[in-house]
Structure 1
Amino acid sequence: MGLKTLSEGLSDAIVDYVSSNPSSKANHENASQYLPGGNTRSVLYTSPFPLTFVSANGITLSSADGRTYLDFLGEYTAGLFGHSNERIKKAIQDVVESGWGFGGVGVWEGQLAKRICERFGIEKCRFTNSGTEANLMAIAVAKAILVFGGAYHGSVLAFPSVELQSPLNVPHEFIIGPYNDIKYIQSLQQDPTLTNDLAAILVEQMQGAGGCHAASLEFLRSLGKLADNTNSILIFDEVMTSRLHPGGLQSYHGIKPDMTTLGKYLAGGSSFGCFGGKEEIMRVFDGGRKDGGLVLSHSGTFNNNVISMKAGCVALEILTDDVLVKMNTLGEGMRRELNELCVKYGVQERMWVTGVGSLMALHFGERGEEEGLRDYVKLKNKDAEDLFWFWMVGNGVYLARRGFVALTIEHRKEHVERFLEVVEGFLKTWAHVLQ
């Protein structure tokens, strides 16, 4: 019997997936009677149905079908501490004993703000329930915002390409530019209309949901110059990237933005978002200012919920510089070895890995030019991407369907070696459909 084609392999993989996960299938069908798509978080949907999980411990997930998976998704970067950190668990249990939902100021929010401001060099900050909300508040005072194709700043601030933005986006005036394109930024300097109207620049130093593409230092510096020349606010979205260096990627690059947005892991896995920056900007949210200046309302019932506040304080105690560097060093080595496997099996132009530190994305398709990221992937091979995901899940390794991987502080060398082993098994079996 000859080698199977990609379509044959994918068809078989789907049949195996369905037969191996009957409880997940049943749960999806039941939930779909009340939830569009059977869930309430679109990124979790996957065809023919997503796995249903019933418990988690350390870096493992247990499904409704009695299967155990090594978790390499890390709750899309929010699960940096794993699923059962004892110190965070105790912090949550202790604070719940004291009650929750005060409807007033608690002791922990000021302590968490102090820790965050000191870690990231932020003068003043405020909390939200998610990174999406943090980005919304950061651009609230802007009238025209420069963003970049491939960016994702939340479900209402999504820009899949230079030509497209989500129909759910908030109704701000957006200018969508090509990411990592220095010549484009330089051309904007010559546009007098833009110089007069541009109010903010919102950028990820590494695009997370957009495929883990890192910005060059030169590109980020050019954005700083554009912000200076247009008197606009430079906002670094560090919701994902703040975990890639002790002071965030802005510290690594040595570039100080006017504002920073944060979220994901900083409350130890509880809901959380944060925006902050220069005091002269943040004072517009100070309800007690006495200078007669503008005051903007920033409310949110759960902005200062005691669970997130206390868990965040403990989480930042756990996340020392050494712990963070160790995790990101492990990720750098993992990404390097994955790309070496792609070379070993001669598929490096059809399968490759990008990222920084503990965050990475596997790509399948026809590899294009990296300059400006305009043609980073000339043609995406969605079937190959799907086949890879079914292979990994079938072998007990969980990651995002789109190939996104996020390590946690609980991952060790032996876990990475298992991931590499499963990937090599995939390449041994399916390299022929990628060449």
Structure 2
Amino acid sequence: MTTPAEETTLSDELEQSYVESTPRSRELAERARNVMPGGDTRSVTYFRPYPSYVESAHGAQLETVDGETLLDVLNNYTQSVLGHAPEPVVDDVCSRFRAGNGVAAPTEPAVALAEELVGRVPSVEQVRFCNSGTEATMNAIRAAMAWTENERICKITGGYHGTHDVVEVGVADDGREHTGIPRTAEQRVQTVSYNDTEQLKATFEAVGDELACLILEPILGVGGMIPATDEFLQTARDLTAETDTPLIFDEVMSFRLAPGGAQQRRGIEPDLTAFGKLIGGGLPVGAVGGRADLMAQFHPETGSVDHSGTFNANPATMAGGVATLRELDADAIETLNQQGADLRTRLQEIGDDADQPITITGEGSLFQIHFTDEPVRDLASSSAGNPASEQLFHEMRREGVFIAPRGMGNLSTPMTGSDLDQIATAFDRALESLGYSSHCKSLHT
């Protein structure tokens, strides 16, 4: 659905206000352009006219180099579930780092984190560590290919699983995401629409025996923080079981939803799971875990998939992961999920009172703001990342609340009721500034 908001661009007033309030960031951005393409080294953190630079972060707050204090409702795209610099995690990471970190040998903290993941996630019998969610999904797919001896994968249109070749097909549409991806990758990828059970059935009827795996997110993240329906997930499980095709869940974002991740919350067990973000205690991390026979593809003596990396399972990251999961227990997750549910309700009430159609999606502590009044079930119905989202990002930032430029947000455990009030108030004022006239009576109820 095309809305008037999709035709908008960042206003001169909004851009000028941002530039005037971020002089030091502008200086740093100009310096960065001399030594990095466009001044950028992480595409998702770039926004127009230039990104603001963060000086420090503690709890739920960011301090920028321009002296601003922002409520962080982005949390490094869901990684900082405990907020920033949580003391128990910092203590364990620093203690382990002082004991030596760069060693070409296994260490006990890796065993401890693997045991924690196996203990929390019933579908995970064994674990392999790497350094990012990208590496996690890449290695999960490689294990599935080695096990099935097939090279074709099935993924969701709008599903983002990192930056290796085959998963960068079908992100924004059915083709490759950019020209840095070889066209031959497109031939190895079959895409289906999210939550379309009939299309998924038809795909498996046509090519199910040729697939190495089906990879999907229980919550479609980049595509708009859209929960999968129970029917879609169960259909995915049934079809993959019938064809002996490994089902891979990408839980890099959704693992925060329950002690055992979204799969526990939904009662669906995949064959392999990709982890990342929060399981490293604020340090680079990734992991793939699952059935022992699939994970045996990585066995150093009998497996067929070679997997190494200088920083795989480095002990400081592993210690940080153990400390994080210790703090993120069932009670903490339940509280966070309830806060998220309450916030989504409040944001939707504000949106319902606006002149511009707005739909809030999400689950647990995750949410997305869409500029549409139609049901949001897949990439085609999502408005994530349209121009109105960018304007909303700047307006909420001006109110002291930092969300994703595509309209996504998530909560962290240090957040309080007053923080949720601030988010709701900022959203209401941002809509008013954008000319959408929201004056929700239940703003503080």
Output the TM-score relative to the length of structure 1: 0.92
- Within the candidate set 352, 356, 364, 1:343 is matched to 352
Partner of 2:14: 13
Q: Distance in 2 between matches of 1:175 and 1:103?
A: 39
Q: Distance in 2 between matches of 1:29 and 1:340?
A: 41
Partner of 2:55: 54
- Within the candidate set 209, 216, 224, 1:203 is matched to 216
Amino acid at match of 1:79: S
Q: Distance in 2 between matches of 1:310 and 1:374?
A: 37
Partner of 2:121: 120
Partner of 1:166: 177
Partner of 2:200: 185
Partner of 2:4: none
Q: Distance in 2 between matches of 1:360 and 1:413?
A: 17
Alignment of 1:104-253 (within 5 A): 104-121=105-122, 122-141=124-143, 142=145, 143-156=151-164, 157-158=167-168, 159-167=170-178, 168-169=180-181, 172=185, 173-191=188-206, 194-253=207-266
Do 1:148 and 1:162's aligned partners in 2 also have CA atoms closer than 8 Å? no
Do 2:23 and 2:66's aligned partners in 1 also have CA atoms closer than 8 Å? yes
Tell which deviates more after alignment, 41-50 or 159-168: 159-168
Cα displacement string for residues 405-424 of structure 1 (whole angstroms, at most 9, x for unaligned residues): 02111111110101101111
Residue 35 of structure 1: how far off its partner (Å): 0.4
Do 1:392 and 1:398's aligned partners in 2 also have CA atoms closer than 8 Å? yes
Does structure 1 residue 267 correspond to structure 2 residue 271?
no
Name the SS for the 1:95 alignment partner.
Answer: helix
Cα displacement string for residues 333-358 of structure 1 (whole angstroms, at most 9, x for unaligned residues): 101110011112343x2x22111111
Does structure 1 residue 295 correspond to structure 2 residue 304?
yes
Do 1:369 and 1:375's aligned partners in 2 also have CA atoms closer than 8 Å? no
Amino acid at match of 2:378: L
Do 2:384 and 2:407's aligned partners in 1 also have CA atoms closer than 8 Å? no
Gaps (5+ residues) in structure 2?
1-6, 146-150, 439-445
Partner of 1:305: 314
Name the SS for the 1:152 alignment partner.
Answer: coil
Tell which deviates more after alignment, 114-123 or 159-168: 159-168
Cα displacement string for residues 172-199 of structure 1 (whole angstroms, at most 9, x for unaligned residues): 51101111101101212432xx133112
Amino acid at match of 1:113: A
Cα displacement string for residues 266-318 of structure 1 (whole angstroms, at most 9, x for unaligned residues): 111111101011001111111144xxxx4321101101111101111111111
Amino acid at match of 1:153: H
Amino acid at match of 2:398: G
Amino acid at match of 1:376: S
Do 2:137 and 2:288's aligned partners in 1 also have CA atoms closer than 8 Å? yes
Does structure 1 residue 373 correspond to structure 2 residue 378?
yes
Gaps (5+ residues) in structure 1?
1-5
Q: Distance in 2 between matches of 1:381 and 1:131?
A: 21
Amino acid at match of 1:200: C
Does structure 1 residue 413 correspond to structure 2 residue 420?
no
Q: Distance in 2 between matches of 1:317 and 1:264?
A: 15
Distance 1:374 1:387, change over 3 A: closer
Q: Distance in 1 between matches of 2:304 and 2:430?
A: 57
Partner of 1:3: none
Do 2:431 and 2:437's aligned partners in 1 also have CA atoms closer than 8 Å? no
CA-atom RMSD, angstroms? 2.0
Amino acid at match of 2:432: K
Partner of 1:276: 289
Q: Distance in 2 between matches of 1:204 and 1:7?
A: 30
Q: Distance in 1 between matches of 2:9 and 2:90?
A: 46
Aligned length, in residue pairs: 418
Do 1:246 and 1:325's aligned partners in 2 also have CA atoms closer than 8 Å? no
Q: Distance in 1 between matches of 2:296 and 2:90?
A: 35
Amino acid at match of 2:128: R
- Within the candidate set 383, 389, 398, 1:385 is matched to 389
Do 2:157 and 2:191's aligned partners in 1 also have CA atoms closer than 8 Å? yes
Amino acid at match of 1:75: N
Output the TM-score relative to the length of structure 2: 0.90
Residue 428 of structure 1: how far off its partner (Å): 3.1
Q: Percent identity?
A: 31
Do 2:223 and 2:378's aligned partners in 1 also have CA atoms closer than 8 Å? no
Do 1:80 and 1:265's aligned partners in 2 also have CA atoms closer than 8 Å? yes
Distance 1:330 1:396, change over 3 A: same
Residue 374 of structure 1: how far off its partner (Å): 5.8
Residue 237 of structure 1: how far off its partner (Å): 0.5
Distance 1:383 1:253, change over 3 A: closer
Partner of 2:3: none
